[in-house]
Amino acid sequence: MNIRLAKREDAAALIEFNQAMALETEGKKLDARILQSGVEAIFSAIDKGFYVVAEQTDGTIVGGLMVTFEWSDWRNNWFWWIQSVYILPEERGKKIYSRLYEFVKAQARTQKNVCGFRLYVEKENLRAQRVYEKLGMESSHYLMYEERL
């Protein structure tokens, strides 16, 4: 298993993962055209974020995640938001997310300006919550609100 920064050639797998995750977690079918543009935008503008993938030795991508950035004026540093986490169902339980997260943490250490990691998870997704807690993350005291335009 190779954990690495994603390349533009990985976009098809990442698009597929996002479609599968939205359907699995929220029962939503995403607009493929918009999703493709959204995934490809990351590869065109490094200020938006980056993807990390888990690749088997035969080159098959079996999981991935996206990292985006939030500036903290309180800390004068960046929080990295972990988003779009997806592991193929048949590959779950093999600690692939753990390896992806460790890779992200190692990348952050090289930057010297990252103060922490954040993510959001569906309230009902207890399995994912347990995984995040095992890796040292804690439930935040913040609630998330949104308004869609």
* The 3-state secondary structure of 18-86, one letter per residue: HHHHHHHHHCCCCCHHHHHHHHHHHHHCCCCCEEEEEECCCCCEEEEEEEEEEEECCCCEEEEEEEEEE
pLDDT attached to residue 144 = 86
Higher local confidence (pLDDT), 26 or 78: 78
Q: Residue 86: which of 132, 25, 17 has the closest Cα?
A: 17
* pLDDT the model gives residue 77: 97
* Mean pLDDT estimate for the chain: 95
Q: Give the domain ranges of the chain.
A: 2-120
Residue 25 half-sphere exposure, CB side, CA atoms within 13 Å? 21
* % pLDDT > 90, the chain: 87
Please tell me the pTM assigned to this model: 0.93
Q: Residue 42: what pLDDT?
A: 96
Would you say residue 123 has pLDDT above 90? no
pLDDT computed for residue 125 by the predictor: 86
CA distance 119 to 91: 21
Q: Say if residue 122's pLDDT is above 90.
A: no
Q: Report the alpha-carbon distance of residue 149 to residue 139 in Å, rounded.
A: 28
pLDDT tens digits, residue range 49-70?
A: 999 999 999 999 999 999 999 9
The second-level CATH assignment, the architecture, of 2-120 is 3-Layer(aba) Sandwich (3.40)
10: exposed, middle or buried (Cβ count in 10 Å: 0-12, 13-18, 19+): buried
- At 3-53, the pLDDT tens digits run 999 999 999 999 999 999 999 988 999 999 999 999 999 999 989 999 999
Q: Return the percentage of the chain with pLDDT > 70, whole number.
A: 100
